[in-house]
């Protein structure tokens, strides 16, 4: 299996046109630039909830390393199926699993599965959340993943600081809630469609549960689309070296509904223009399980309205998982009833 790679976008390259903003994080090195970025992020997150970032500083070789590691895994997934199978009782779904609805394979690790994280959590946090990550016996695999995790975590932390500034909060306002964090990294592989196959959706329309998502995708793979508040789907442009950022449900909850949790999907290529295998890396930045999220009604004003109540993070995600499982059972039941 071959997975395409892309080069970094020059800092002075044009941002492009269309509804998807492209933000250059190199501006964040001075106070005036940070203020401009915070203002733009507020505008975007109150509207579409998704944007692209360049100037992020993540080295190309770190991205290439994790992509090569994932390619080694997905080139022969059956070889690793037994050792990496997801434990049904693992709420964080660490390991290798086939999509229940969509045609994909996903390999997931979580920051809570790394050594030493459990010691920093309260005793009432479920031990299931701190189960160790499953790593395939591929030379250099875990090291490549950990290097990427460190870089993308740094990027997510920087974005959370800008999020705080955009909400008129101190830039370190979110920091304690992510010490430790419960962030997950999923490598997703979509096999090439069969010749003559019909077009459709590789990934159904959905919202992420996280505070924010940092997505790396193939530089030749179109089809990622986001839904605006007016019900129009927009294609996310391919900008070399850029990461796609979107607001998740937890951040929308945290802001008391001021920010928009992005509905997005992945469309299949047209039948007359097939592509090969597709690959993406989705990092879900999530607070620690014992963090209490108190929604914000306005700048710095915590409230507990009927729609957005104070919630502990592990309880929040447990409720999300129950809803997801119910939906999967409904879809499976519907498929069985089809003639």
pLDDT tens for the 339 residues of the chain, in order: 333 333 333 333 334 446 899 999 999 999 999 999 999 999 999 999 999 999 999 999 999 999 999 999 999 999 999 999 999 889 999 999 987 667 788 999 999 999 777 777 888 999 899 899 999 999 999 999 999 999 999 999 999 999 999 999 999 999 999 999 999 999 998 877 665 554 567 778 899 999 999 999 987 667 899 999 889 999 999 999 999 999 999 999 999 999 989 999 988 766 655 567 788 999 999 999 999 999 987 555 555 555 688 999 999 999 988 877 765 565 555 544 455
Alpha-carbon gap, residue 83 to 158, rounded angstroms: 35
Q: What is the pLDDT of residue 175?
A: 95
Alpha-carbon gap, residue 83 to 96, rounded angstroms: 9
Please give the structure tokens belonging to residue 328: 């999967």
Q: What are phi and psi of 177, to 5 degrees?
A: -70, -15
Residues linked to residue 51 through DSSP beta bridges, in sequence order: 21, 245
Q: What is the pLDDT of residue 328?
A: 58
Q: What are phi and psi of 233, to 5 degrees?
A: -85, 135
Q: What is the pLDDT of residue 42?
A: 96
Q: Which residues contact 36 (CB under 8 A, 6 or more apart)?
A: 27
B/e letters for 163-183, b = 16+ CB within 10 Å, e = fewer, are bbbbbeeebebbeebbebbbb
Q: Where are the domains of the chain?
A: 21-337
Q: What is the pLDDT of residue 4?
A: 31
Q: What is the pLDDT of residue 197?
A: 52
Q: What is the pLDDT of residue 278?
A: 83
Please give the structure tokens belonging to residue 117: 């994280």
The torsion region of residue 153 among left (phi > 0), alpha (psi -120 to 50) and beta comes to alpha
Per the CB < 8 A criterion, the answer to whether 55 and 27 are in contact is: yes
Residues linked to residue 85 through DSSP beta bridges, in sequence order: 96
Sequence-ordered alpha helix ranges (H) in the chain: 31-47, 60-74, 77-84, 141-166, 249-254, 313-337
Half-sphere exposure of 176 (CA within 13 A, CB side): 5
Alpha-carbon gap, residue 336 to 13, rounded angstroms: 51
Sheet arrangement for strand 95-98: 21-24, 50-54, 243-247, 212-217, 278-285, 184-190, 105-110, 95-98
Alpha-carbon gap, residue 179 to 185, rounded angstroms: 17
Q: What is the pLDDT of residue 208?
A: 94
Per the CB < 8 A criterion, the answer to whether 291 and 184 are in contact is: no
**Counting every residue, how long is the chain?**
339
Please give the structure tokens belonging to residue 112: 């809570």
Alpha-carbon gap, residue 220 to 212, rounded angstroms: 24
> Tell me, which fold does domain 21-337 have in CATH?
Jelly Rolls (2.60.120)
Of 319, 178, 329, the C-alpha closest to 249 is 319
Per the CB < 8 A criterion, the answer to whether 287 and 182 are in contact is: yes
Alpha-carbon gap, residue 66 to 157, rounded angstroms: 20
């Amino acid at each position: 299996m071959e997975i395409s790679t892309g080069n970094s976008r020059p800092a002075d390259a044009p941002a492009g046109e269309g509804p998807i903003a492209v933000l250059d994080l190199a501006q964040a090195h001075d106070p005036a630039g940070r203020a401009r970025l915070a203002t733009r992020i507020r505008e975007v997150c109150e509207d579409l909830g998704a944007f692209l970032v360049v100037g992020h500083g993540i080295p190309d070789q770190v991205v290439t390393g994790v992509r090569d590691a994932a390619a080694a895994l997905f080139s022969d997934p059956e070889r690793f199926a037994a050792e990496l199978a997801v434990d049904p009782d693992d709420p964080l779904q660490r390991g290798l699993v086939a999509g229940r609805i969509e045609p994909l394979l996903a390999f997931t690790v979580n920051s809570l599965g790394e050594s030493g994280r459990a010691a920093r959590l309260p005793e009432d946090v479920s031990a299931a959340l701190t189960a160790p990550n499953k790593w395939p016996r591929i030379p250099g695999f875990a090291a490549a993943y950990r290097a990427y995790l460190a870089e993308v975590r740094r990027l997510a932390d920087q974005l959370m600081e800008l999020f705080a500034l955009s909400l008129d909060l101190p830039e370190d306002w979110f920091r304690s809630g992510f010490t430790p964090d419960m962030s997950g990294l999923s490598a997703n592989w979509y096999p090439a469609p069969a010749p003559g196959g019909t077009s459709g959706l590789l990934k159904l329309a959905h919202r992420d549960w996280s505070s924010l998502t940092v997505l790396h995708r193939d530089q030749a793979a179109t089809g990622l689309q986001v839904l605006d508040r007016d019900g129009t789907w927009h294609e996310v442009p391919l900008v070399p070296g850029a990461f796609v950022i979107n607001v998740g449900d937890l951040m929308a909850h945290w802001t008391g509904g001021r920010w928009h949790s992005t509905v997005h999907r992945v469309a299949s290529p047209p039948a007359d223009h097939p592509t090969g295998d597709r690959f993406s890396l989705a990092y879900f930045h999530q607070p620690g399980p014992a963090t209490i999220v108190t929604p914000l009604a306005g700048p710095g004003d915590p409230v507990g309205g009927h729609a957005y109540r104070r919630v502990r993070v592990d309880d929040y995600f447990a409720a999300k998982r129950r809803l997801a499982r119910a939906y999967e059972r409904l879809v499976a039941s519907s498929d069985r009833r089809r003639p």
